[in-house]
Amino acid sequence: MKRSIVTFSITLIGIVVLNLVCSWAANVLFIDVAFIIGLASAVLLKFFTSSGGFFSNKARLQAQAQTGIKEEEEKRAFSPGIAFYTAVGYTVCSVIATAFYYKEYFI
């Protein structure tokens, strides 16, 4: 329980800091880049925490070619953790906040 709270906090702080840096660098409002940063964070977390993807298959095939020993193919598996759910939650909250902030443009 304590570890998940720490992971949640570090992930959330990291996304917010990245959002602040990007909004400062682009000279735009925080809310303008919040959705993009949240979505990019979720995609990157999924890409780097899943197993059995392109890079795993490439390494397996290279090992087979060099040794001649056939290995079992890894099944693609993604078990989302608290960091991924934090990024998805941040993305959803940013969509809601953006819609609320720019509600005059949507109506």
**CA 25 to CA 84: how far, in whole Å?**
25
Beta partners for residue 77, in sequence order: 51
pLDDT at residue 100 is higher than 90: yes
Question: Model confidence over 6-44: pLDDT tens digits?
Answer: 999 999 999 999 999 999 999 999 999 999 999 999 999
Q: Is 86 exposed, middle or buried (0-12, 13-18, 19+ CB in 10 A)?
A: buried
Look at residue 66 in the predicted model and tell me its pLDDT: 76
pLDDT at residue 101 is higher than 70: yes
pLDDT at residue 2 is higher than 90: no
Between 78 and 36, the higher pLDDT residue: 36
Region 61-85 average pLDDT: 75
